[in-house]
Amino acid sequence: MSMRFLRAALVALTGLVVCASVSAVDPAAAQDRRQNEPGQFDFFVLSLSWSPSYCEGAAERRNGDGNRGGRPDPQCGPRPFSFVVHGLWPQYDRGFPEFCQVPAPRLNRDIVSSMLDLMPSPRLVFHEWDRHGVCSGLPPRVFFETVRKARAVIKIPEAYLEPTTALTVTPDEVEEAFVKANPGLDRAGIAVGCSRNRLSEVRICLTRELGFRDCPEVDRRACRRDHLSMPPVRGG
């Protein structure tokens, strides 16, 4: 066997090993090189949760767990919440950071109280700060001011402001309604989420300056169900 043949075989074998190693990489682990560095991200995702779906799911989980007691969730009280802010999430073009500082800087209770009109659960506010807010690199007060500004950018379609009866929708219908209500928003910059057969949330991609932008990875993870239920707001 010639040396030239041996060298060619070795090169080919090395290439196969490299390809196998690359294909074996967990896509979730192949994140941005800036992983979990506060302030280092590409854009935001504003997640708007359909509160009636959340509360129906929470009630089902309680009943399935023997109807155990516990603190009532203020989000699921008598106030008729519709879309509420789930969170404002720093994102990479591929993947996202989370828990960028452990333990997270403590939140002032005044900040928490000030957000309850948009995020109607203190536990939700604390959780979102610990997991996502610290990754913004912003001080707590500035981050939650940014959450408020981001929410103010979005106009909720009239049909979803306060429906008093259950709606049956398709993900495409919901996306199209938001696009029509928000000039500049493109279908590639919004994704509808679902839980079982219910619409759970709408995710809208925003630049760091809170303008609309496309986000292919977020869009690919949208709900693919044909039809979704939107339970009515409480009191409906």
User: 173-198 pLDDT, tens per residue?
Assistant: 999 999 999 999 999 999 999 998 99
Question: Which string of DSSP letters, residue by residue, matches 17-36?
Answer: HHHHHHHTS-TTTS--TTTT
Residues 43/206, Cβ–Cβ less than 8 Å: yes
Output the pTM of the full model: 0.83
Is residue 230 pLDDT above 50, yes or no? Answer: yes
What pLDDT, in 10s, does the model give residues 45-85? 999 999 999 999 988 887 765 555 556 788 998 888 999 99
Where helices occur in the chain by DSSP H, the ranges are 3-23, 51-64, 109-114, 122-131, 140-153, 171-181, 216-220
Per-residue DSSP letters for 129-163? Answer: HHHTGGGGT--HHHHHHHHHHHHHHPPPPGGGSS-
